Amino acid sequence: MLRYSGINLTGVAIASALFSLAAQASAIDLLANERPVNAPVSAAAVALLPSPNVLVTPGTLTVATSSTNSPPLALLASDNQTRIGSDPDIARLIADGLGLKLKLVPASWEEWPLGLTARRYDVAMFNIAVTEERKQRFDFAVYRADNHAFVVKKSSAITRINQPAEIAGKRIIVASGTNQERILLKWDEENRAKGLPPVEPIYLTDDASATLSLLSGRADAQFGPHSIAAYKAALNGQTRLVGSGPFRAWVAVTTKKGNGLAAALSASLNSAIDSGRYAQVLARWGEQDEAVKTSVINPEGIHY
């Protein structure tokens, strides 16, 4: 069963948020956003840090973030080496608040669960949504509230995808192992039970390949994080948003369950929220509509 009771929104509210984010994306200054936003040390957060030996490298917060070009969440700076984006920015605020150095480790979406378990990095930030299933293995400190969006080529005849019947018979790009995939397959299961044509998932993780497939007509739509979808639609004008998933989800800094880091991560985030640095970061990436008032630990997640 697919259920989430934390932050359900009406279709009108979701559509309004998507439109607002798309408008904000067009004003993003990438060169200006290469300058880091730093936060002061939070004594309260530092006091919650467990033994230094819990960290992969004592004195450093090692953060896995997306190796793909997925603005506004993660992308390369003008030097073609430095990782920038809202996730690296939030990671820096957390490390600063904890009085730690920051080390960003580019990784793929498929790598982060094993990477955390094997202690290759301390935390992962990949627009990871909290689910009850993931809470069995990982701890979470919330930093955004995110929705999922359906995107089509601008010239597409598709005008709406907001419910299961509207994906029937369509070729839809989705990333494996994501909540979007779970939603898509659940909707497809419901459709098949009603005798509707099956959906054809197209599994791609590289955003450039996904865009090429969409624009070339090899796919009918793409289903992914709405911040990425709105940013791309606003900047290139070649795609447009036609709908959303059934709910917004808590997006959280993710760490190995029981390692003691979650409380310190959450406290550092709350310090950044209180200082205004958190709002500054979200504003410069056009993600104001995804802000949370407080970072909480292990909130209720999506149920499958």
Residue of 210, 216, 184, 177 lying closest to 198 (CA atoms):
184
Q: pLDDT at position 194, please?
A: 98
For 209, other C-beta atoms within 10 Å of its C-beta total 13
14 or 118, which is more confident = 118
Confidence band for 233, pLDDT divided at 50, 70 and 90: confident
Q: How far apart are CA 80 and CA 95, in angstroms?
A: 23
Confidence band for 27, pLDDT divided at 50, 70 and 90: low
Query: Tokens standing for 210?
Result: 């996904």
Q: Residue written as tokens 């995107």?
A: 151
**Whether residue 18 has pLDDT greater than 90:** no
* Whole-number percent of the chain with pLDDT over 90: 74
Q: pLDDT at position 237, please?
A: 86
Give the SS3 label for residue 78: coil
Sheet holding 123-125, edge to edge: 101-107, 60-66, 123-125, 249-256, 138-146
Q: Residue written as tokens 């949504």?
A: 129
Q: pLDDT at position 19, please?
A: 38
Q: How far apart are CA 233 and CA 240, in angstroms?
A: 5
Q: pLDDT at position 90, please?
A: 98
Confidence band for 230, pLDDT divided at 50, 70 and 90: confident
**Whether residue 6 has pLDDT greater than 60:** no
C-alpha to C-alpha distances, 276 to 74, 160, 280, 284, nearest whole angstrom? 21, 37, 6, 13
Region 154-181: mean pLDDT is 96
Query: Tokens standing for 177?
Result: 């192992």
Kind of pairing, strands 239-244 and 148-153?
A: antiparallel
Sheet holding 148-153, edge to edge: 200-203, 171-174, 221-225, 148-153, 239-244
C-alpha to C-alpha distances, 224 to 34, 54, 150, 160, 265, nearest whole angstrom? 25, 33, 7, 15, 26
Q: How far apart are CA 12 and CA 60, in angstroms?
A: 43
Confidence band for 116, pLDDT divided at 50, 70 and 90: very high
Query: Tokens standing for 128?
Result: 């990871």
Q: How far apart are CA 137 and CA 135, in angstroms?
A: 5
Q: How far apart are CA 238 and CA 297, in angstroms?
A: 39
Confidence band for 304, pLDDT divided at 50, 70 and 90: low
Kind of pairing, strands 101-107 and 171-174?
A: unpaired
Kind of pairing, strands 239-244 and 200-203?
A: unpaired
Kind of pairing, strands 75-76 and 138-146?
A: unpaired
Q: Which of 30-39, 85-94, 139-148, 231-240 has the lowest mean pLDDT?
A: 231-240
Mean pLDDT of the chain: 90
Give the SS3 label for residue 288: helix
pLDDT by residue (tens digit) across 270-284? 999 999 999 999 999
Q: pLDDT at position 159, please?
A: 96
The length of the chain, given as a count of residues: 304
Cβ atoms of 198 and 191 within 8 Å: the answer is yes
Which secondary-structure segment (H or E) carries 145?
strand 138-146
**Whether residue 154 has pLDDT greater than 90:** yes
**Whether residue 134 has pLDDT greater than 60:** yes
Look up the pTM and report it. Answer: 0.82
C-alpha to C-alpha distances, 2 to 194, 241, 286, 290, 304, nearest whole angstrom? 18, 23, 29, 22, 4
